[in-house]
């Protein structure tokens, strides 16, 4: 009986010794479909850093020999457990082809994974479409509280032949704007919330055939409106080169002061605006042109304080005002 037990034990050990390499080989073997590839960022812009990472649930890649090669077969990086590789994306339309060779521990056959990176970019242009700026102002209207903002996506021209073949997805503060997203919808118009002093916009653009994928985000700061006063010249033009400051000298029997409410949403609030002019603290009738006030000093050698406030009575936080002290 003891001999039988001893022989059985020896036979069991021999079987385990013989079968173990084959079990290890079977556990180590993987196919190309078993390798997961992650590209970060997923849609890299030209010149940006890109990291490629491989992983697998079928084999322990930390023990595998991993070789990273370019399209010509040149080794870019190599080592045991080298599961990630970083590179700098080229210019627009300069595709990058990276090949990763994975040889699991205990195996002699490498699995090859092809990785293609298409550097693409999309610009976002924006403006306040109802913000007011005076004539010949060289800058653009900036958004203020509760003003209307329009953002426009500009895909890389070299990668996109027809803008109508692009699908756009717009996000505002990380919320997808389904109404403004879709085929050819390259613009997004919205009203600023008075609760936010910045607006964060994200757009992703993808071609129908999948050859173009780009994403970009911007943060738009919300400004404050301001009123500046200018003096109208005798010929009817306005001296926009010099804004009137306190204690500015005004001479003559009659002078016209022009108020310019920079960035204030005059267009959207046209029917709800209230203009209040005051001279030395007393309210006066609103002139026919609510942004222009003609003063006729009764005497010279004194001072006069004028002020203007503009309020949109349909909006909670749309108001602007300024006061100017003049030397007559």
pLDDT, tens only, 220-259: 999 999 999 999 988 889 999 999 999 988 887 888 999 9
Distance CA 97, CA 93 (A): 12
pLDDT value for 27? 45
Element (H, E) at 189: strand 187-191
Give the lowest-confidence range in 75-79, 99-103, 127-131, 266-270: 266-270
For 104, residues 6+ apart whose C-beta sits below 8 A from its C-beta are 28, 29, 30, 59, 60, 61, 63, 64, 111
Residue 7 lies in a domain: no
Domain of residue 183, CATH code? 2.60.40.10
For 295, residues 6+ apart whose C-beta sits below 8 A from its C-beta are 250, 254, 255, 256, 257, 279, 304, 306, 326
Using the 8-state DSSP alphabet, how is residue 270 labeled? Answer: G
Q: How far is CA 26 from CA 14, 19, 30, 31, 300, in A?
A: 19, 11, 9, 12, 103
Grouping H, G, I as helix, E, B as strand and the rest as coil, residue 7 is helix
Q: Which residue has the higher pLDDT, 91 or 87?
A: 87
The verdict on 233 and 320 lying in the same domain is: yes
The verdict on 299 and 250 lying in the same domain is: yes
Q: Domain count for the chain, please give it.
A: 3
Residue 21 lies in a domain: no
The verdict on 34 and 102 lying in the same domain is: yes
| Domain end residue (candidates: 221, 236, 254) | 221
The verdict on 234 and 261 lying in the same domain is: yes
pLDDT digits 0-9 by tens, 7-17: 444 434 444 44
The verdict on 216 and 240 lying in the same domain is: no
Both tokens assigned to 68: 């990273």
Residue 111 lies in a domain: yes
The verdict on 210 and 235 lying in the same domain is: no
Cis? peptide before 41, omega within 30° of 0 = yes
The verdict on 238 and 275 lying in the same domain is: yes
Both tokens assigned to 24: 């290890």
Whole domain around residue 134: which residue ranges?
122-221
Both tokens assigned to 191: 């009203």
Both tokens assigned to 181: 């997203």
Distance CA 158, CA 205 (A): 14
Are residues 102 and 66 in contact, defined by beta-carbon separation less than 8 angstroms?
Answer: yes
The verdict on 254 and 285 lying in the same domain is: yes
Q: Over the chain, what is the mean pLDDT?
A: 86
Residue 99 lies in a domain: yes
Alpha-carbon dihedral of residues 224, 227, 228, 231, nearest 10 degrees? 160
pTM of the model as a whole: 0.72
Residue 6 lies in a domain: no
Using the 8-state DSSP alphabet, how is residue 127 labeled? Answer: E
pLDDT value for 42? 84
pLDDT value for 2? 44
pLDDT digits 0-9 by tens, 24-44: 444 457 888 899 999 998 888
Buried b (16+ CB within 10 A) or exposed e, 267-306: ebbeeebebebeeeeeeeeeeeebbebebebeeeeeeeeb
| Domain end residue (candidates: 189, 221, 253) | 221
| Domain end residue (candidates: 117, 152, 185) | 117
Neighbours of 133 (CB within 10 A): 18
């Amino acid at each position: 009986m003891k001999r039988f037990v001893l022989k059985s034990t020896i036979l069991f050990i021999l079987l385990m010794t013989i079968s173990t390499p084959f079990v290890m080989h079977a556990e180590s073997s993987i196919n190309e479909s078993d390798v997961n590839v992650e590209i970060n960022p997923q849609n890299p812009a030209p010149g940006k850093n890109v990291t490629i990472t491989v992983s697998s649930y079928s084999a322990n890649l930390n023990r595998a020999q991993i070789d990273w090669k370019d399209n010509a077969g040149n080794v870019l990086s190599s080592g045991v457990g080298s599961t990630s590789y970083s590179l700098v994306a080229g210019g627009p339309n300069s595709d990058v082809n990276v090949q990763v060779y994975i040889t699991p521990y205990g195996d002699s056959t490498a699995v090859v994974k092809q990785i293609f990176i298409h550097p693409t970019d999309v610009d976002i242009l924006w403006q306040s479409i109802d913000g007011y700026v005076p004539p010949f102002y060289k800058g653009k209207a900036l958004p203020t509280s509760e003003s209307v903002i329009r953002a426009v996506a500009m895909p890389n021209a070299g990668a996109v032949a027809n803008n109508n073949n692009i699908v756009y997805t717009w996000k505002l503060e990380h919320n997808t704007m389904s109404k403004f997203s879709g085929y050819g919808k390259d613009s997004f118009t919205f009203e600023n919330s008075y609760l936010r002093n910045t607006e964060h916009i994200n757009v992703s653009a993808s071609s129908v055939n999948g050859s173009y994928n780009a994403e970009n985000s911007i943060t738009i700061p919300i400004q404050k409106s301001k009123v500046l006063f200018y003096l109208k010249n005798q010929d009817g033009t306005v001296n926009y080169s010099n804004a009137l400051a306190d204690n500015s000298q005004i001479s003559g029997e009659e002078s016209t002061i022009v108020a310019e409410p920079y960035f204030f949403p005059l267009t959207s609030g046209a029917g709800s605006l209230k203009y209040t002019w005051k001279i030395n603290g007393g309210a006066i009738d609103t002139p026919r042109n609510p942004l222009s006030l003609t003063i006729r000093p009764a005497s010279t050698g004194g001072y006069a304080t004028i002020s203007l406030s503009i309020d949109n009575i349909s909006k909670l936080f749309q108001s602007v005002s300024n006061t100017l002290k003049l030397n007559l």
